[in-house]
A and B are shown apart, each in its own frame.
Chain A
Amino acid sequence: MENLFIPNPKEAESIHILREVAAQFERPVLLFSGGKDSITLVRLAQKAFFPAKIPFPLLHVDTGHNFPETIEFRDSLVKELGLELIVRNVQDSIDQGKVREERGRYASRNTLQTTTLLDAIEEFKFDACIGGARRDEEKARAKERVFSVRDDFGQWDEKNQRPELFDMLNGKIHVGQNVRCFPISNWTELDVWEYIRTENIAIPSIYFAHKREVFFRDGMIWTANEHVFREAHEEVVEKMVRFRTVGDMTCTAAVLSEAVSLDDVVSEIRLSTISERGARIDDKRSEAAMETRKKVGYF
């Protein structure tokens, strides 16, 4: 008669963190990229506050070079769940002369997002930004706190992070500071995929294998598209590919894949030997890349 409910420990921890964010901060926001990690966050937030609505808005920093599938997905999710969505555009930051568009072979708007994000934080006076970063993604992230305090300039100081003991989270901050909150810090890529499958969560179609015009460079597969710089000799071919992360088109490489269902994707991830960030072109620039970007406020 009495069925014992046994929790999934990682899910329970994430929900605990999301509730702490809602309780400890006045203006939290969920940074929504349209990728699987932020979609997972939305599901967790739904669970954390049910039957009430998610008590914070979503913020999408749009580089203008997103995959159209991601944007469509974003809009339908927001509509379905009745969420509040704020969009801020990197293009506006460029037009205002705050940042300059990169040129050349590896030109990307990925790093430009930082300025747009910091401006949005200031505009809306957000004191907590919830992100989907995971500690298994990259070495520099392995030490990231669940609550990571940033100064007025969004800077991260790895020497001055608060120790996190047990599951007590200290989100006390001064005016002008804000906190980056990472509820799925302890999840691995496989955890996320398994969760999406178990929960049957909808994700953008580009996560599944599809035919796409691509070209090869530096051993990686790039989308052939007006936004992505391509040299004349770099030949465009059609391949069955899928994406493991859905960032900006200019810095997200595809992988060859035949995985058309969540089951396929999960088994592919299980067997795969290239880490997810290996498909992020911006990290290949240097090993310390992530760390440098984090220091200047990248999320």
Chain B
Amino acid sequence: MDIQGRKLIKIATAGSVDDGKSTLIGRLLYDTNSLTTDKIEAIERNSRQRGYDYLDFSLATDGLVAEREQGITIDVAHIYFNTDKTNFIVADTPGHVEYTRNMVTGASTSQVAVILIDARKGVIEQTYRHFFISNLLRISHVVVAINKMDLVDYSEDVFLKIKSDFDALVEKSNFNEEQITFIPVSALKGENVTRKSEHMPWYLGNTLLDHLEILEPEDLQESSVARFPVQYVIRPKTEAFHDFRGFSGKLYGHSLKVGDEVTVLPSGNRSKIKGIQFFDQQIDLVAPGSSVTITLEDEVDCSRGDMIVRAGEEPSSEKAISATLCQVNSKALKVGGKYILQHGVNRVLAKVDQIESRIHTDFTGTEEADQLRLNDIGRVHFRLSKPIHFDSYQNSKSNGAFILIDEGSYDTVSVGFIE
């Protein structure tokens, strides 16, 4: 539940330039009364200035000055709207050819991907990439919004052709657990966005908004094993809490309860959960996603970067790992390169042992590579200064992903998904 008791759904969008992504988001905002009068006025003013005879909703989301000048979206923008039942966060990720990194970034925090297709153009190379990325990130729920239906006479044949082309793409992918939903829309005219279209009686499914609203966060959350990476050790050293030593962090994957037998990594020490605390509240059983503080029965060694897991559910501990990597910085990744590897809240040093291949994002296989450039995706082998305690990304998103930090600039240069 979210703050107002509404559920929270996080959505990443993907589309090529001019497919109408900004218009679609603007339309969702407008139709859910999420645009304020001053924003609507600004849109009306800007639309008039540009000589349009319609409201250009894309202006609702266009942000930075540089971007306005170039007329393209250049980064990930976060947009918020809500209905009575649901709070939505949209990570608007631009669809320009070079911007794989932005979609990876936006998708990393999202539960749902909305992939836009221009009905006139159908499935194009970039659609492949968008679907490839939502697969790479294992987004379990994909909506394919086929837009600009008004420009193809709201034709069912066009819709079905695109759907079957997309299905062919799905065949090629290796992630088969996702649910894919196709919706024909016109963002500009508002057809099937929040209002059921009269022009497409052949479409019997939900509008885009209705579809997003019936999703349940629990179904979108991955369930796996409990992972509790320790962020911060709380030692009040006050009279009232003289011996208090609490391990605070965010719980992922599965619930934990008082009395659970646990292992602390890397030491491997065993103990039992003595208490779980959220602010001044004592908890018996805590759901994943909670930021809590845990106390243990025994005086075990445990500090930031360590991990508390249920005994018998220990993750792998290795000094050599293989991962699929996406390069998110203009400085290329090369064999022999050294980085700071941040896995959750833990940091170790990492050296690139081997770049096995670059992976084509159009599902046509791999090629040899000696480096990964910005927006490249590849298979890479690393050696680490110390073992990390990980799961495969497939089994645990939180414990199977990492970032690489450049030792010189400290920029975040890559994101990795452990195999």
Seen from chain A, the residues whose Cβ lies within 8 Å of a Cβ on chain B are 1-13, 15-16, 19-20, 22-23, 46-53, 135-136, 139-140, 142-143, 158-159, 161-168, 170, 172-174, 185-188, 190-191, 194-195, 198, 272-275, 278, 287-288, 291
Residues of B within 8 A of A288 (CB): 65
User: Quick one: CB contact mask for B398-410 with A, threshold 8 Å, 1 for yes?
Assistant: 1001110100001
| Contact (Cβ within 8 A) A6 B236 | no
Stretch from B73-81, B172-180, B206-214 contacting the other chain = B73-81
Cβ-based interface call for B89 (8 A): yes
Contacts of A12 in B (CB 8 A): 250, 289-291
Pick from B3, B63, B405: contact of A142, CB under 8 Å? B63
**A20 engages B285 (CB within 8 Å):** no
Considering only CB atoms, which chain B residue lies closest to A185 in the complex?
B78
Given A168-B403, A275-B38, does the pair A143, B64 have CB atoms closer than 8 Å? yes
Partner of A50, one of B82, B109, B279: B279
Cα distance, A12 to B398, chains bound together (Å): 15
| B contact residues, range | 35 or more
A151 to B311, CA, bound (A): 45
Residues of B contacting A1 in the complex (Cβ-Cβ under 8 angstroms): 284
Q: With both chains docked as a complex, state the minimum distance between the C-beta of A145 and any C-beta of chain B, in angstroms.
A: 9
Q: In whole Å, how far is A67's beta carbon from the nearest beta carbon of chain B? A: 24
CA distance A49 to B77 in the complex (A): 30
By the criterion CB–CB under 8 Å, are A273 and B36 in contact? yes
Whether A194 touches B3, Cβ cut-off 8 Å, given contacts A1-B284, A5-B286, A22-B232, is yes
Q: Which residues of B contact A140 (CB under 8 A)?
A: 63-65
Q: Please state if A194 and B411 are interface contacts (CB–CB under 8 Å).
A: no
Among A5, A20, A163, A166, contact of B290 (Cβ-Cβ < 8 Å) = A5
Contact A165 B415 (CB under 8 A): yes
Binds A, one of B241-249, B265-273, B315-323, B355-363: B241-249
Q: Which residues of B contact A48 (CB under 8 A)?
A: 248, 291
Question: B395 contacts which chain A residues (CB < 8 A)?
Answer: none
Instruction: Report chain A residues within 8 Å CB of B101.
Output: 163
Set of chain B residues within 8 Å of A47, measured between Cβ atoms: 278-279
Interface mask (B313-342 → A, CB under 8 Å = 1, otherwise 0): 000000000000000100000000000101
B181: interface (CB < 8 Å): no
B404 to chain A, nearest CB (A): 10
Interface residues, chain B, with chain A CB atoms under 8 Å away = 1-4, 8, 36-39, 42, 61-66, 74-80, 82, 87, 89, 101-102, 104-105, 108-109, 217, 231-232, 234-238, 240-241, 244, 246, 248-250, 255, 257, 276-281, 283-287, 289-293, 304, 328, 340, 342, 344-345, 397-398, 401-403, 405, 410-412, 415
Q: Separation in Å of the A144 CB from the closest CB of chain B?
A: 9
> A162–B64 contact, CB under 8 A?
no
Q: How far is the CA of A20 from the CA of B328 in the complex (A)?
A: 22
B78 touches A5 (CB 8 A): no
Contact B79 A51 (CB under 8 A): no
The reply to whether B109 and A23 form a contact with Cβ atoms under 8 Å apart is no
Contact between A23 and B344, CB atoms less than 8 A apart: no
Contact among A3, A10, A52 with B284 in the assembled complex (CB-CB below 8 Å): A3
Cβ–Cβ contact B248 & A165, under 8 A = no
CA separation between A173 and B409, bound complex, in Å?
8
Question: A274 vs B340: C-alpha distance in the bound complex, in angstroms?
Answer: 46
Separation of A172 and B276 alpha carbons in the complex (Å) = 31
| B241 proximity list for chain A (CB < 8 A) | 51-52
Identify the interface centre among A2, A142, A164, A287: most chain B CB within 10 Å of its CB. A142
**Residues in B neighbouring A194, C-beta threshold 8 A:** 3-4
Q: Are A186's CB and B89's CB within 8 A?
A: yes
- Some 29 contacts from A to B, beta carbons below 8 A apart, are A3-B284, A5-B283, A5-B286, A5-B292, A6-B1, A6-B290, A8-B3, A9-B217, A12-B289, A15-B291, A16-B249, A20-B345, A23-B231, A48-B291, A49-B232, A51-B240, A51-B244, A139-B63, A158-B66, A162-B412, A163-B102, A166-B109, A168-B344, A168-B402, A170-B403, A170-B405, A186-B80, A187-B3, A273-B37
B4 touches A190 (CB 8 A): yes
A8, A16, A49, A143: the one contacting B63 at CB < 8 Å is A143
Question: Which residue of chain B is the closest to A271 with respect to CB atoms?
Answer: B33
Query: B79 to chain A: which residues have CB within 8 Å?
Result: 142
Docked pose: A95 CA to B72 CA in angstroms: 45
Whole-angstrom CA separation of A140 from B352 in the bound complex: 37
On whether the beta carbons of B78 and A135 are closer than 8 Å, the reply is yes
Considering the chains assembled together, what is the distance between the CA atoms of A21 and B249 in angstroms?
13
Cβ-defined contact, A158 with B8, below 8 A: no
Our pick among A165, A170, A274 for the contact of B410 (Cβ within 8 Å) is A170
Q: Are A195 and B36 in contact (CB under 8 A)?
A: no
* Pair B284/A139 contact, Cβ less than 8 Å: no
CB distance from B282 to the nearest CB of A (A): 10
Complex Cα–Cα for A53 and B75 (A):
38
Are A4 and B250 within 8 A (Cβ)?
A: no
- Measured between beta carbons, the chain A residues less than 8 angstroms from B246 are 51
Chain B: CB-nearest residue to A166 = B108
Cross-chain contact B64 with A158 (CB below 8 angstroms): yes
A163 partner residues in chain B, CB cutoff 8 A? 76, 101-102, 105, 328, 412, 415
With both chains docked as a complex, state the minimum distance between the C-beta of A96 and any C-beta of chain B, in angstroms: 32
In the bound assembly, the distance between CA atoms of A174 and B37 in angstroms comes to: 43
